Structure 1
Amino acid sequence: MVTEEKDHNAIVKGRCCFHRSPTAEAVAWSENMDTLLTSQAGLDAFRTFLKSEFSEENVEFWLACEDFKKTECAEKIASKARMIYSEFIEADAPKEVSEIFHDSESFSINKSAPR
C-alpha cells in the first residue's frame, strides 16, 4: 500500500501568507503587534488574513491613523482628519470600521474643529 505524504505547507499557502517569512520573524509577530505591522511582510500577511475575514478596513484605518499621527502641517491634519472620518467612522462610510463609534458617548467629533 502506497501512502501519500501530505504537503502541509500547501494547505497553509492556500489560507495565509505567513509561510513567506522566516520562522524567527513570524514568531516575533506573534509576540508583538507593532512588530507585525511595521514589517512589510507582516503587514502583507495580516492584510491577507483580514481580507479572508472580510475586515481589511481595520488595518487600512490603522495605517491612516498612523499616517495622521506623523502629520505636522495643521492644514494637512484637518484634511486627513476629515478623510479618516468620512472613510472609516461616519455612518455608512465606505470602509466603516465599527458600529461602536455611533453608539459610544466616549467618541465625539468636535464640530468647531477646522474644516
Structure 2
Amino acid sequence: MSIGIYRVILPHESEYPEPITFVMGAPLAVGERYTGPEGWDDWYFCTTPGQQGGWVPVQIIEGLASEAPFAREDYTARELDVRKGDTLLGLRILNGWLWCRPVEGTEHGWVPLANLQEVA
C-alpha cells in the first residue's frame, strides 16, 4: 500500500554501497545516535553479525535500552539513487526519510524527504 506519489526535487546518491540488512529478531549492537543539521532524528548506527554497520531507525529496534536489543522487523538501510524529476511511489516515512520505489521500477530504497515533493 502506498502513502503517496513524490517527485524528486534534489538528486540523491547513496554513500553506502553495502547497506546493513537483517531479518526480524536479529541481534543488534546499538551505537551512536545520529545528530546533524538535517533533522534526521532517531536513527542509530547499528551492527549485527555478518554485516557492516549502518543506520537504523529507532522504530526497528526492540529493547533499545536493554542489554540485548534486536530487530523488531526485517530491515535494510539501502538508499535509492534518484535524479531530479524522477517520480517515486512512497511506501513508508520514518524520521525524515521515505522508503520508496520508482513508479516505473521495482527497486526499493530510502530517500531523504527533504529531496522530495509530494504530488499526489
> What's the TM-score once normalised by structure 1's chain length?
0.22
- Indicate the structure with greater strand content: 2
**Higher RCO by CA contacts (8 Å cutoff, separation 6 or greater):** 2
- Indicate the structure with greater helix content: 1
